[in-house]
Amino acid sequence: MKNLTKLAIGLLLLTGIIFTGCKEVSELTDVKFAANYEAELDVTVAPTAGDKSVTGAFSVSETINPADNSEYDQYLDKIKGVTINEVSGLVLSINPNMTLTSTTIRISNESRSTSWEYINLPINIGSVLTLDNDNGQWDVVEQILMDKTSFTVEINGQADVDNGEFVVLLAIESEILANPLN
């Protein structure tokens, strides 16, 4: 009976060592890489129908396919996690300078959505739109990238001019964790 107990304890220890070793070996084969995505949103501000005040409305969207990044596509079925490092918006061009009186930037797919809102934000060339994680928006973008499907980036709202245009470069910088053995 003592030998049987020793054998059982030995097998349990050996099993624990093997599973721990397999996990460590699996972690040694993890691959991390940058997966960055950009969309240029060409915005045309047009007069708001029937509105006598000087305001203009706009709405533009672009679709991003995360698999357009060759490494992301290569490890598509092996992705273990996504970390968002930065989400940013940069005004590349504008005519004339304007104030975004009420604006929303949204990133979404079929099952998830997150957004940033701006009220009375003056913009000009080089203006940076802060797309922070104050309300967990980056966490949702991580989940969107983990869904491994195309997603939409959009900007819509109103400006204090009724005729103008601007271009916003929306950029998402992420780090992907994958394991080719999974």
d(CA 89, CA 102): 16
31-178: which CATH number, 2.60.40, 2.60.120, 1.10.3470, 3.40.50? 2.60.120
pLDDT at position 48: 73
Domains in the chain: boundaries: 31-178
Report the alpha-carbon angle 15-17-21, nearest 5: 120
d(CA 67, CA 13): 43
Share of the chain above pLDDT 70, in %: 81
Question: Can you name the residues that pair with 44 across neighbouring β-strands?
Answer: 165
d(CA 130, CA 85): 13
SS3 state of residue 120: strand
pLDDT at position 96: 96
pLDDT at position 166: 98
Condensed to tens digits (0 to 9), the pLDDT of residues 77-115 reads 999 999 999 999 999 999 999 999 999 999 999 999 999
pLDDT at position 77: 93
Query: Is the pTM value of this prediction over 0.75?
Result: yes
Q: Is the predicted pLDDT of residue 28 greater than 90, yes or no? A: no
- pLDDT confidence tier of residue 47, bands split at 50, 70 and 90: confident
- Element (H or E) spanning 143, and its range? helix 137-146
41 contacts 63 by C-beta, under 8 angstroms? no
